[in-house]
Structure 1
Amino acid sequence: MEKKNTRLGTDPLSWIRDSRQQDVTTVEKKKTIHDKKKDIPKTKEGLKEGWIRATFIVREEYLEKIKAISYWDRKDIKQVVDEALTAYLKNKKVKPKPVNQET
């Protein structure tokens, strides 16, 4: 390929390559890298062991109080909710949920 002489200097975006001419083997290599990862569900992706991502619906007033507590105690909302749930479940006797058995 012939280089063009430019009046203003070098092209700052010259490092960007045309993706339309991408080789098929590079796409296959990317897939193998992804396949090497463990099959981690998205709800646990990027979290420490024993944690899971969940969405809950709560009352607005509770959420505002939790946010205020986390602000004033300089903690994450996750930590405040964890402490609240730990205190609530501390002396509870919880029976395990029945497993759906097909008969």
Structure 2
Amino acid sequence: MAKSFYKLCDQQTVYEVTEERLKAYEELKNDLTNAPFPLMPDWKLPLKLYIDACGEGLGAALHQTQIINDKPVEGKFASFEEKLSQKKKDMGKAKWNAFA
């Protein structure tokens, strides 16, 4: 998402506003200002467990919806991720979810 900004880190680069950079800026700004924030768990409320497994890694996150400022807000309070070793990659998709 921020890839088009990397070119600006080079001191020899002349800053030029392009459509690609404007779009990347707006997307980055939106994602950063609307990103989920960590919550303190309320153990009286239900939890949601999200898991994902792909060819590169595994991930899991515990989320909970709480009422904040009179609005329901879903936030993450615990997460795990792991890059798959070649041995685990060779095991196949069916076993990836078991690892997650």
TM-score category of the 2 structures, normalised to the smaller one: under 0.3
What TM-score comes out, normalization by structure 2 length?
Answer: 0.23
Which structure carries more strand by proportion? Answer: 2
Question: Greater helix share, 1 or 2?
Answer: 1
Q: TM-score scaled by structure 1?
A: 0.23
Compare relative contact order (CA 8 Å, sep 6+) and give the higher one, 1 or 2: 2
Greater C-alpha radius of gyration = 1
